[in-house]
A and B are shown apart, each in its own frame.
Chain A
């Protein structure tokens, strides 16, 4: 309220000021007449000016306020009009009661003009609130009235306002007044037809609007009565209100009355269609509800229940149920006992039928048609709707009614859209459940990956005699590559690199087993052949046929400057001799693990013995490196790797690893798609002459 007053302060001040001026002027006349009853009331141009200002400022104020109103609900707008009118009525009543002691006294000459001014103000504000509200109705969504017509109407009203200035010395020609009146009345009649807003109301809003409009007319008549309109005889009434100073008031009141009464008629005629509108609206809300049941967290049954309730409500069915594809019992039923259902559809599986034909099945005269047997004879109409999307059959919706031909085509049309909506919802729910499961799997995989990362050595043995660096990548979450290094004595190291055939989880499990065995066997088993044989024995029993593991096991003893290398089907190790400045492949053969699962395996493994010195380098890797392919399908291969190592002899193990991987990546066009591991080991000293690089 305060906000309202503040916002329109200038308009309100102007309105109030002009009204007070008007009251003052009226009072001054009254006092002068009291003082001199013989006074001949001469016309005062000044008074006309005040009346004009009073009318004009009020119109501008009301126009502004109504125009700014944001509420588009016709019912609310009508309430405001009526409210304005009722405040006016209250003001009139109050002032009459307050001034009643002066009735029939000498003072009455003074009180009457005040009472008149209040009534005039109330009537004026009310009528123009009505006009500008009705303007909004006339231009309601979708009407095709030209705004220019309204401007014309306002222009004529404005011109009519000038009639105020008519006085004994200055007459406005009669034909102008008639012209103004005719055009105004014509426009009023024209505008009264535009009542499209009625169509947007609900049934309840329509009933309310009829009441509000009726009351508006009553208030209008009351205020007109108070204003004294009906004390005139007809011809002077017409003269005063259409051809003299109150022209504007007359036309405006006529507009209010005309538009209100016409709207009431339209509303009454529209009441029956209101029921249809209501139903359509409810159907729309139902579709929305079904759509909302797609939201995660809602179970399949919830969506099905929403569908059944909406469908039964919309078609006015007495019972219904939903059967899901692949289940014998109905998912939910309503208005019918589950045990009664089979008797109704005994002879034919209607669910399968509608899903196959992709159309609605209906029998609207069950009593005549003996296709179906049913216990309860009061079911007369049955329709079955398929619930299916383009690719998935979900189920069927059954609805029954107690009257024959209970389902109209219109019903069926709406029900179909319900079923289609529900099909989407139900399918989405199923997809949601699936994606949740998938998410859980992914979580588990992420855990597996974390666990596997822990299987790789976090750091290499801190040693003055060797320097190691390794890089490893898994193509999937987990992989089958493995490497490790263990210090088992002063200057004695066990090194392993391996690759389980295949990728993913299965490979990762075997890799974990190899890790366990390496950590336990490497400490106790000096002989590489024995080590590999033991692993083969242990692991073969649990590997499926066709899977195999390749690995290279190196025992390095820097005390005596020797290394024993056993290769079980794994990529050969590259050995760079610092003295000869030459790289050689350690290719001494051996069979992969898991190929031969009995004792004979031992014969296929040989150990290669080499002498190692400070400045020597071992490069171990898995097939992801040498089998990386370029776009032509050519493999990176051993020669390129050898060259890379040879070119990088001056590099540290870290830098060499980085440069090799960079080269392989460039070769294969950015990414290495397979699992790979690369390990570079430098011999930097021995226990007798530590750190003599």
Chain B
């Protein structure tokens, strides 16, 4: 798994490549923790390169969503493969997070707030 970080004016994009499983979840957790410490609460997760996500990977996102929402932040997902989207829907996470299909919509999501 690889994570690339792109900082925009009012949000930060994390491009996650490869598989987010129990092993790589540790690295991802460090990235999230650091961003939240830096008060970056508007997060865009670009999953277009994500092949697989395990429950531990979901756990990493879930463990930080509390703090994001408490600080009036937002987590927006884009580029979910059908498989990953299926996992999100199964767990009911699509109700909780904004999931958009194209990159262009991402910016709008953060403008609303």
Residue positions of A touching B, CB distance < 8 A: 501-502, 544-548, 550, 568-572, 589-592, 594-597, 604, 623
Question: Chain B residue with minimal CB distance to A501?
Answer: B55
Residues of chain A within 8 A (CB-CB) of B59 are 501-502, 546-548
Residues of chain A within 8 A (CB-CB) of B90 are 550, 569-572
Q: List 12 A-B contacts (CB under 8 A).
A: A501-B55, A502-B55, A544-B63, A546-B56, A548-B55, A548-B58, A572-B90, A591-B96, A592-B91, A592-B93, A595-B91, A604-B96
B100: interface (CB < 8 Å): no
A570 and B89 CA atoms in complex are apart in Å by 10
From the candidates B55, B65, B95, name the one contacting A589 in the complex (CB within 8 A): B95
A591 and B56 CA atoms in complex are apart in Å by 16
Of residues 17 through 59 on chain B, the ones whose CB sits less than 8 Å from some CB of chain A are 55-56, 58-59
Residues of chain B within 8 A (CB-CB) of A568 are 92
Residues of chain A within 8 A (CB-CB) of B64 are 545
Task: Decide if A604 touches B92 in the complex (CB within 8 Å).
Answer: yes
Question: Chain A residue with minimal CB distance to B86?
Answer: A638
A595 with B96, Cβ < 8 A, contacts A501-B55, A589-B89 known: yes
From the candidates B56, B60, B92, name the one contacting A569 in the complex (CB within 8 A): B92
Question: Chain B residue with minimal CB distance to A499?
Answer: B55
Residues of chain A within 8 A (CB-CB) of B60 are 546
Q: Closest Cβ of chain B: how far from A551's Cβ, in Å? A: 11
Residues of chain A within 8 A (CB-CB) of B58 are 501, 548
Task: Decide if B55 touches A595 in the complex (CB within 8 Å).
Answer: no
Across chains A and B, the number of contacting residue pairs, with CB separation under 8 Å, is 59
Report which residue of B90, B93, B94 has the largest number of chain A beta carbons within 10 angstroms of its beta carbon: B90
For the complex, would chain B's binding face be called helix, strand, loop or mixed by DSSP majority?
helix
Residues of chain A within 8 A (CB-CB) of B55 are 501-502, 548, 623
For the complex, would chain A's binding face be called helix, strand, loop or mixed by DSSP majority?
loop
Residue positions of B touching A, CB distance < 8 A: 55-56, 58-60, 62-66, 89-96
Question: Chain A residue with minimal CB distance to B29?
Answer: A546
Task: Decide if A591 touches B62 in the complex (CB within 8 Å).
Answer: no
Question: Chain A residue with minimal CB distance to B61?
Answer: A546
Task: Decide if B63 touches A591 in the complex (CB within 8 Å).
Answer: no
Q: Closest Cβ of chain A: how far from B80's Cβ, in Å? A: 16
A545 with B95, Cβ < 8 A, contacts A501-B59, A569-B90 known: no
Residues of chain A within 8 A (CB-CB) of B92 are 568-569, 589-592, 595, 604
Question: Chain A residue with minimal CB distance to B55?
Answer: A501
A592 and B90 CA atoms in complex are apart in Å by 9
Residues of chain B within 8 A (CB-CB) of A570 are 90
Task: Decide if B56 touches A502 in the complex (CB within 8 Å).
Answer: yes
Question: Chain A residue with minimal CB distance to B65?
Answer: A595
Question: Chain A residue with minimal CB distance to B67?
Answer: A545
Q: Closest Cβ of chain B: how far from A616's Cβ, in Å? A: 23
Residues of chain B within 8 A (CB-CB) of A591 are 91-93, 95-96
Residues of chain B within 8 A (CB-CB) of A502 are 55-56, 59
Task: Decide if B56 touches A545 in the complex (CB within 8 Å).
Answer: no
Q: Closest Cβ of chain A: how far from B14's Cβ, in Å? A: 17
A545 with B91, Cβ < 8 A, contacts A595-B96, A596-B96 known: no
Q: Closest Cβ of chain A: how far from B78's Cβ, in Å? A: 20
Report which residue of A546, A592, A623 has the largest number of chain B beta carbons within 10 angstroms of its beta carbon: A546
Residues of chain B within 8 A (CB-CB) of A548 are 55, 58-59, 62, 91
A589 and B89 CA atoms in complex are apart in Å by 7
A595 and B93 CA atoms in complex are apart in Å by 9
Residues of chain A within 8 A (CB-CB) of B63 are 544-546
A91 and B14 CA atoms in complex are apart in Å by 111
A464 and B41 CA atoms in complex are apart in Å by 57
Given contacts A546-B60, A591-B96, A592-B92, 7 further A-B contacts (CB under 8 A): A501-B59, A546-B62, A546-B63, A547-B59, A550-B91, A591-B92, A595-B65
Question: Chain B residue with minimal CB distance to A548?
Answer: B62
8 pairs of A and B residues whose beta carbons are closest in the complex = A546-B63, A591-B92, A546-B59, A545-B63, A569-B91, A501-B55, A592-B91, A569-B92
Residues of chain B within 8 A (CB-CB) of A569 are 90-93
Residues of chain A within 8 A (CB-CB) of B66 are 545, 597
Question: Chain B residue with minimal CB distance to A592?
Answer: B91
A107 and B39 CA atoms in complex are apart in Å by 135
A479 and B22 CA atoms in complex are apart in Å by 16
Residues of chain B within 8 A (CB-CB) of A547 are 59
